[in-house]
Structure formats: C-alpha cells, structure tokens
Amino acid sequence: MHRGNKSQARSGKSSRPPGLSGREIGMYYKNLARQRKNSDTKNEPKIKLSCDVTVPPGVIMRVNEYMDQFKLAREAGQKHFDENFQQQFRHMLNVNFEAFIEETKKQNKDLNLQNRSLDAHLQDKQKERLQNADFRARFEDRLKLPTMRHATDVIDAVDKNQVVLIVGSTGCGKTTQVPQLLLDDCIEKGIGTTCRIVCTQPRRISAITVAERVSYERAEPLGHSVGYQIRLESRKPRERASITYCTTGVLLQQLQSDPLLHNVSVLLLDEIHERSIETDMLMALLKIILPHRPSLKVILMSATVREEDFCNYFNRCPMLRIEGVMHPVEVLYLEDVLAMTGYQFDCGNNKRSQPRLDQSEHRNMIEPYIRQVRSRYDNNVLEQLRVPHSEGCEDIDFIANLIYYICNKKSDGAILVFMPGLNKISQLHSTLKNPRSPLGQRWRDHLLIFPLHSMLPSAEQQSVFKRAPNGKRKVIISTIIAETSVTIDDVVYVINTGRTKVTDYDIETNIQSLEECWVTHANTQQRKGRAGRVQPGVCYNLFSRAREALMSEVPTPEILRCKLETIILSLKVLHIDDTYAMFQTMIDAPAQRTVSTAINLLKRIEALDINGNLTPLGMHLAKLPIDPQVGKMILISALFRCLDPITSVAAALSYKNPFYTPLGQERRVDEAKRRMAQKMYSDHLMIHNTICNYRESVGEHRDRDFCYNNFLSHTTLQQLERMKSQFAEFLCNYKFLTSSNCLDQSSNINSDKIPLIRAIIGGGLYPNMAHLRKARQVKNRVRAIHNMTTDDGRRVNFHPSSVNSGETGFDSNYFVYYQRQKSTDLYLLDATMVFPMALIIFGDGVDSGVIDNRHYLSVAKTYYFKCSPETVSVVLNLRSNLGLLLLEKALHPAPIEENSDASKLIKAIELLLSIDDKMGDDYEIMSDEIDNI
C-alpha cells in the first residue's frame, strides 16, 4: 500500500488520494515525508571516509616520471608476439559453438589411428600373456567377479549401442573389469590400435588405486596398457590400445582442445550416481557431442541409486544390471547397540557443547519414538537415547567401545568405520592408538588401523587392501570414499556413524561451506552393502530408527549446492556462451541467481567482460586447473616476477595447509605458526615462510625433525613443492615465464619485496575483503577480540587457527581472505593484511569523488579513502596503464623484462605501495563507529 502511495505522489502534483478527511490528510503528508527521507538515505549510502591515502608530492613526481617512461606502444614494436595464442583468441571471439564443432570435425576427418602391424604384435603379446603364471592366477580371481560373468553381455551391448548404462552393486567389478573387457576384445579382434579407453573417477585416490589394481591384474607395470591422469600428476599409458583412469576434471580440461573427444574410442563415466558437478556437466556435454561422433562409445556406470534418472536422461538407453553376490547383512541401530554393549554416555561435561537448538530438535525426534518402543528396550537404553550426543560421532569413546566389543564377541573380519572427515578420523585413530581405558589397552596391539581419505599420500594407499595377519583385526576408518569408489574386500563389520561432510552454498551470503550433516537413505544402503562382501556381515548404524525416518532419500546433486565460477569458465572456453541455457539442459539446473552471482564475480576479476564474453585473461584462467581467483594471482606473480612466494600461496590454497593439529596440541601448533608468520600478519605469507624454512632443513638433512617439531606434514610439503613446479610448468608453457623452475632467478627478481607480494595476494583474493575496526587484547587470553566486517557488511572474526587471531597491532586495517566459514560465528579461515593502496591499485570498481570538500578514492563502493586530488589523478592514470599492460600481456604472454619500459610501471606500483607502511592510524577516525564490542 505504501508503495502505491509513493508512485501516486510522484506521478502528479496534487495526487493525494481523494476522500481524505483533515486529520487523514495531515497523516498522509507526514507519512510521505518519512518515506521520502527513508528512500533518500537508501539511494545514497552514507559515505564514511576512512584513512588518508594521500601520496606525498615527491613520490607523485617520481611515479609520474616512471609512467612517462612506460610507453606501451613503443614496446609493442619490439615484442615477440605469441601468434598461437593470438590466433586462438581471435577464434574464441569469433566462433560460436556450432562452428567450433564443425571445425574440429573437419580437422579430424581423416584421423585414422589403426596400425595393422602393431595390431598383430598386440595380438601375439596377448596370447603370450596367457602363459604368464601371475596373470593366470589373477585372472582366475577376476573370474569370480559378477561383471566377468556378464562379459559377453557387456561387449555385445557396447557393440550395438552408442550409450549403455551399467548398474551394479558396489564391488561387482564395474570399474576394474569393464574397461579391460573392452580393450582385450579389441586386441583379440586385431583392432587394438583403434582402441583408447578413458574412464573417469570422482576422486584422485580412486583413479590411482584402480589403475594400480588393473595393471596388477594384467601383470604389467603401471604405464603400459593402463595408466592414470589426475590434476597435476600422471602416469599415462601408451597412446593406443590402452586404458586411462582420470579424474572427471581432467577430462573436462581435455575437452577444451579436443571437444569431440576424437582421441577417445570408449568413454566410461563412473560413479555417476554421486551426482558430482563434473559428471552432471559431462553428461550434458555428451548429449551435444554424441551425434557428432557416431563411433564414440559411452558407458555410464552407476551404483543402484536412482539409475532410472540416467536412463531417461539418455533417451531410455539400454541398461545392463549386474547383480553382485551379496551376503545377508544384519542391521542394528543405535538402540540395539546400546542394549548390546550397555554403554553409558558421560553427560557431565559433554552436554554444554550441544547447541540448544540441536537439543530441542533431538528431543522432538526422540521422545515420540521412545514412547513407541518403550516395551521393547529397557529403561537404561531409553535414557541413553535421550542424550543428544548419543547419535552420530560425537562420542569417540563410544565408537572405540563398539570396536572393542566386536573384537571381543565377533568372529574374524575387518571393521570399516564411516566418519565425516579427516578430523574425526584422526580423533578415533588416536583414541585407538593411545587408549585410556584398560579395555582399550587390552585391544590396542591387536588392531591394525588404517585411515582412508582423499588426502592420503599415494604411498599409503595400497596397504589398506592387504589382509590382516592372523591374530590381528583390521580397522579402516574412512570418509565417504569407501562407500562406493574404493572396495575393500575383507570387511565384515560396518560402523556407520551416519555423518558426512557436504559442501553447501548459501546464495544469500555467497558462502560455500563444508558442513557435517546426516547421510541419506541411499548412503546408508551402500554402507550396509560393504559388510556383506565375503560372508554374512553386520552393519551398526549409530543413529536411531527415529533419526533414519527423518533422513532424505538421496543426496542433493552437487550442482545445486556449490559455486559455479570454475564450471562457467570451462563452458565459456568450449564456446558455450549461453551458460544459462546450458545449465537448463542438465539433469538438475542450478538457480538462476547462483549462475548470475558467479558470472558477476568472473566479471569483477575481469575473466569475463561486461557482456559476459571471455576475456584474454579469462581464457588463461580457464586453462589453469585451479580456482580463477588463485589463477589470477599466479599469472600476475609471473608477470611481476615474484613467482616463488605466490605459487606457495596458490598451492596451499588449492591443495591444503601443511600443518596438522594433534588433539589437544592446538596451542603448540599455533605457536609454530606464529613463529613462521614472522609478524607479517598473513596466513598466506606464513605458508611461504614455512616452505622456505622447510627447504633449508632439507638442505641440512634435518627435515624430519623440522617437520616433527613444527607439526608439519612432510608429505603435504612435498606435494606443495610438486604443485608449485607444476604451476611454473603451466605458466612456462603459456609463455608467461621463461623457465619452468619455480626458483629460477629471473622469475623471482621481486620475490623479497613484501609490500608487492602482499598487494598481489590482495589482488588475487580480491574481492574477498574485510575491514577491521578495532582490535583489543584481553587479559589472560591468547586470542584477541576483533571487531571486523567483510565487504557485504557481515561481522566476522579471524578463525582461531589463523595467525592473525591473536594479534592486535596491525599496520593496516584491511584484509583479504580466501575462505569464510560459518560455524558458531562467521570466520575468516585465512587472511592477509593488505594496505589500502593495494586494494586501490588491484581492485575493480575503483572510483573517485568529493564529499564534504574532501577528495576520495573508493573501492567497490565499500571503502572510501581520503586523499589529495593529485593522488586521485596519479592513481587513476596508473590503473589504466596497468589495465593496458595486463591486456597486452594476456594477448602476448611474456614476463616483463627487466629495465624494459613496461618494468617502469612496476617500479611505479612498488613506489606507491612502499609508502603504505605509514598508514596504520585510522583506529581513531573509525572509533565513532564502534558499537557493541
């Protein structure tokens, strides 16, 4: 009604609604005035000027001198153009999807890969292999798998159809056998060289273990007929007559250069029931590709979860069902486990950790159920069910106790425990290794414990498959990974905590988070199946039947709960411009708003132009196998020649932090991190310092001690170094670097200039910014109190594991971060302090203006910095030059030569950044805003 009034009031002079009495007229105008006032303040946000960023006149003069010397045009004449990229890029802009497809078809028209002499050779080898004792023994074992019993069905179905869906219970041999069946069939028919099989896996670890398994079955080393390819790591098999297990992401990357998959004869999409964003997207792409590639065979493989959805999606393609041999599995629920073990929860100190909301939710669920089953369970069990932390994996001792119970009462067989994530896995691991109870001490040496998760170093992956020696019991503590993608044969007992970690995306806050939640019926069904592989088994669900009744049927597809930047870039590179339309063709389409939010971010980091077309920068970012923000950071570091520190940051952001935290040692880990941080107020620079110190320790052969003393994972550090080299290789391939060595001197001329490094981290993580208004140290507390907001106005805090969480004396009040996490509070998981000038130089939406007679420069309409008019003009000039330089470099990739004209711009930037050190004094200015701290 208000809105109606307003429009009337604006449309004409005397638009007061007719028929109002005297008092009503007065009220009408009063309301109108109030509305106007409100809408005025809404349209023009109150600008609060922050600290002064005025550049001293002397510095401005020198910056201007440098900029005069920076003449892009002059440099262009001497430059060595990268013709290849130029061409590619022109192409990008001019070619639409259909034309692109036609063109690759034409290029591959005469592709004939068959090599008859090689075919004959392969045939002979195949016959020879039958004499190999290892091969034959292993072949005998393979014959026991249900898939091998369907061998001819599989080969026939693939022969007669372009798309086949194979559905089979987990462990029946789909992943390991189907590719081998098809390859060996081709080889035997003497057309081996026409065959190149690619099988996608949802996770790196499954690509590796499966490839290793299959080459073992074939009695050959990895890299002959079988290999794997995962992001930044590969053991490729021979070109033809081969099977490559790769991650789904790797295949998506390959589509960029080979969109119709001319290089592949059979494509297997495995584990599509998991509904990862990549397999969903690949299926949508395949629908486009298939008509153009009649000879390409596609096999979809799924566990028995809503398989009809896939069959329908591919126009009711033929479905082959492979029934596994399943032994019966007895299923017990929390109430049964409690009755059986008589376990009592400790309600003294654990209770307070439960949020009140959870407690009442739990009560509402459990009380009606207790009334229902009162007659069947004794009172003690019912009392225990009432304890909120009885379900799931809140009480690690309960799980340990159940493991001891199985050891004590049940016959031989491995125990598989499903945990939500690494953290809980290590808690249970250390409880079992260092038991406090006499019961635990009794069983400790009897257990052979294996953690199983996606971060497991390759070297430790295979041991989990080995059978335990007599007198020992194998306990595997795993994430969801053992649910379908990794099969361990000798499991007889499954403990299902019912918890898992799931990414969740909140469009309102634009936060993607990884949260623990209850699994679905589909997960529970799969987990139960893991117990009946070799003999009848038992599945212990650590939740009640009441909880199970509340669980959803199947997990929500990933595409509906994550950010879309990366996937949009990869669509754009494939010339699919209308990403909205493309998403509509997928099994489940994400919300329009999620798509537009992602497109906006890509525009802000200039990967897309204002029309949503790929920019030269965007094209490079799409090729880098990392998050676009991190990708931009390493590209700039290559240009600005500070490669080593920035690739350290990028590697840690895209892989993982090298620190681990043993339970109860949090404080000592924090100390180690603080030592490494060297008061730089940056979690990112801290990682680089750590890597430098690690290298030093390697040089002095004391790296083991170094890692041990500082809670560092040796393997993670090595992996980070490997990733850094691979980034350098990428950048070198694309000509942004002249050397593929991260430590190459010419790539690191500016690597010790901390203000510059800080600014580049800022430029990369932008627009993830936060502003600290006040920091206060509290007596006797390690952590300081921070009054801080992110650019969307939300209150945040440094996560306790951030090196900034205990600090107060920052030199600047601005921070950039990579990830926010919402738990009890909103946290910045990692943060680097940056100076305002860095945001002004590297941010987008930089604007200038005058308010109350004071000039300002603003960033993203969020932060307004006072400054002199001369500063405004020099900074804006510098920004437009930097824009030109970046475009230039994206079009003609090359590092910026020392002493070249372009290097003068870097000098100018450095100069501007170097004066920042003196700008730490806006606490006073802002103090009037500080409210409820």
Nearer to ligand ADP, 169 or 812 (CB): 169
3-state secondary structure of 173: coil
Q: And the tokens for 620?
A: 């490079």
Nearer to ligand ADP, 490 or 910 (CB): 490
Q: Cβ of residue 303: shortest distance to Mg ion, in angstroms?
A: 8
Per CB under 6 A, 544 contacts ligand ADP:
no
User: Does the protein bind ligand ADP through residue 541 (CB under 6 A)?
Assistant: no
Q: Residue 135 CB, nearest distance to ligand ADP (Å)?
A: 16
Residue 168 found at the interface with ligand ADP (CB under 6 A): yes
Rounded least distance, CB 167 to ligand ADP, Å = 10
> Rule CB under 6 A: is residue 828 a binding residue for ligand ADP?
no
Pick from 838, 857, 839: which is nearest to 848 by CA? Answer: 857
Q: Does 616 bind ligand ADP (CB under 6 A)?
A: no
Q: Minimum distance between the CB of residue 172 and ligand ADP, rounded to whole angstroms? A: 4
Question: 599 with 549: CB under 8 angstroms?
Answer: no
177 versus 497: smaller Cβ distance to ligand ADP: 177
**What is each CA distance from 918 to 162, 398, 841, in whole angstroms?**
68, 56, 17
**What's the per-residue H, E or C state across 802-816?**
CHHHHCCCCCCCEEE
Stretches 175-183, 229-237, 362-370, 904-912: which one binds Mg ion (CB under 5 A)?
Answer: 175-183
CA neighbours closer than 13 Å in the CB half-sphere of residue 297:
25
CB of 161 to Mg ion, least distance (A): 21
**What would the 3-class secondary structure string for 265-292 be?**
CEEEECCHHHCCHHHHHHHHHHHHHHHH
Spatial distance between the Cα atoms of 833 and 570, rounded to a whole number of angstroms: 32
CB 499 within 8 A of CB 393: yes
465's contact among ligand ADP, Mg ion, none, with CB below 5 to 8 A by partner kind, is ligand ADP
Q: Which of 487, 710, 719, 903 binds ligand ADP (CB under 6 A)?
A: 487
CA angle 664, 670, 671 (to 5 degrees): 110
- Which residue from 54, 119, 174, 479 is in contact with ligand ADP, where contact means CB under 6 A? 174
Binding partner of residue 783 among Mg ion, ligand ADP, none, CB cut-off 5 to 8 Å per kind: none
Q: Is 684 helix (H, G, I), strand (E, B) or coil?
A: helix
- Of positions 9, 148, 172, 197, contacts ligand ADP by CB under 6 A: 172
Binder of residue 573, out of Mg ion, ligand ADP, none (CB less than 5 to 8 A by kind): none
Is residue 696 involved in binding ligand ADP (CB under 6 A)? no
* 588 vs 436: CA distance, rounded Å: 49
CB-wise, 485 or 648, nearer to ligand ADP?
Answer: 485
The crossing angle, in degrees rounded to 10, of helices 616-623 and 628-639 is 110
Count residues near ligand ADP (CB under 6 A). 15
CA–CA gap between residue 684 and residue 668 (Å, rounded)? 19
Query: C-beta of 171: minimal distance to ligand ADP in Å?
Result: 4
Could you say which of 50, 147, 175, 524 contacts Mg ion (CB under 5 A)?
A: 175
Identity of the residue numbered 748: N
CB of 337 to ligand ADP, least distance (A): 27
* Contact between residue 341 and residue 401 where contact means Cβ atoms under 8 Å apart: yes
Q: How far apart are CA 441 and CA 432, in angstroms?
A: 9
384 is a site residue for Mg ion (CB under 5 A): no
Peptide bond just before 355 cis, omega within 30 deg: no
- Single residue of 49, 173, 207, 513 touching ligand ADP by CB under 6 A: 173
> Do the beta carbons of residue 586 and residue 108 sit within 8 Å?
no
The contact pattern for ligand ADP, residues 211-240, with x = CB under 6 A and - = no contact, is --x---------------------------
Nearest-CA neighbor of 604 among 820, 764, 775, 374? 764
Instruction: Kindly write down the DSSP assignment for every residue of 393-462, as one continuous string.
Output: TS-HHHHHHHHHHHHHHS-S-EEEEE-SSHHHHHHHHHHHHS--SHHHHHHHTTEEEEEE-TT--GGGTG
By a kind-dependent CB cut-off of 5 to 8 A, residue 268 interacts, out of Mg ion, ligand ADP, none, with none
Are the CB atoms for 811 and 789 separated by under 8 Å?
no
- Asked if residue 655 binds ligand ADP (CB under 6 A), the reply is no
Residues 429 to 468 in contact with ligand ADP, rule: CB under 6 A: 465
Query: What residues from 831 to 850 belong to the interface with Mg ion (CB under 5 A)?
Result: none
Q: Which of 54, 180, 209, 500 is the binder for ligand ADP (CB under 6 A)? A: 209
Asked whether position 175 contacts ligand ADP by CB under 6 A, the answer is yes
Residue 489 vs 825, nearer CB to ligand ADP: 489
Q: What is the largest CA-CA distance in the chain?
A: 108
The CA distance from 644 to 411, in Å, is 55
> Choosing among Mg ion, ligand ADP, none, which partner's interface includes residue 171 (Cβ < 5 to 8 Å by kind)?
ligand ADP
- Name residues contacting Mg ion, limited to 145-174 (CB under 5 A): 174
Q: Which of residues 718-777 bind ligand ADP (CB under 6 A)?
A: none
279 lies in the site for ligand ADP, by CB under 6 A: no
Distance CA(556)–CA(333), nearest Å, equals: 24
Q: Which stretch binds ligand ADP (CB under 6 A): 169-177, 260-268, 655-663, 883-891?
A: 169-177
Which region among 167-175, 191-199, 802-810, 892-900 touches ligand ADP (by CB under 6 A)?
167-175
Q: How far is the CB of 467 from ligand ADP (least distance, A)?
A: 10
Which of 9, 60, 145, 760 is in the footprint of ligand ADP by CB under 6 A?
145
**What are 740's two structure tokens?**
């593929």
Four-residue CA torsion sign, 190, 196, 201, 206:
positive
Judged by CB, which is closer to Mg ion: 228, or 659? 228
Nearer to ligand ADP, 461 or 693 (CB): 461
What whole-number distance in Å separates Cα of residue 423 and Cα of residue 408?
27
CB atoms within 10 A of CB 45: 9
Residue 176 interacting entry, from Mg ion, ligand ADP, none, C-beta within 5 to 8 Å by type: ligand ADP
Which positions touch ligand ADP (CB under 6 A)?
A: 145, 168, 170-177, 209, 213, 465, 487, 489
Which positions touch Mg ion (CB under 5 A)?
A: 174-175
